[in-house]
Amino acid sequence: MTLHTVERFQARPIREGELVYVCVVRAANILRDIREHITNTLGGKMRRYESLVDETLTEALAALESKAQGLGYDGVVAVRISHPRVAEGGVEVVVYGTGFNYLEPSGTGGAE
């Protein structure tokens, strides 16, 4: 199972399938949320939210792979990641792309 941001492969033919997408929403715990509100007030890097976004994105990409595999695809091309959004102590990430299957190279012989 592979995920690719490119829309086409030059070296290997594929058959494009349907849109495959997932949405993952994770909540920060209340302590993390309070700390980040303080950091937001005083200024500085919001490291706890950064890690929450990273964890959520990793989960979303894994879920996209799993969903595509469950639909019988070899991978997903043209993968796009929506702008991860932090709102009220939670993070929402949507990832999507086009499922694909590799095609057998033509002209290699085979059973007739």
Nearest to 69 by CA among 23, 96, 101, 94: 101
What's the confidence (pLDDT) of residue 32? 63
CATH number where 79 lies: 3.30.110.70
Does the pLDDT value for residue 34 go beyond 90? no
Residue 59 host element (H or E): helix 47-70
- Residue 89 in any domain: the answer is yes
- Residue range 19-47: mean pLDDT, rounded: 76
Domain limits at 45? 2-102
* Domains identified in the chain, total number: 1
pLDDT of residue 9: 80
**Does the global pTM surpass 0.85?**
no
Q: Please check whether residue 72 lies inside any domain of the structure.
A: yes
CA distances from residue 97 to 17, 24, 72, 78, 79 in whole angstroms, order as listed: 10, 15, 15, 5, 4
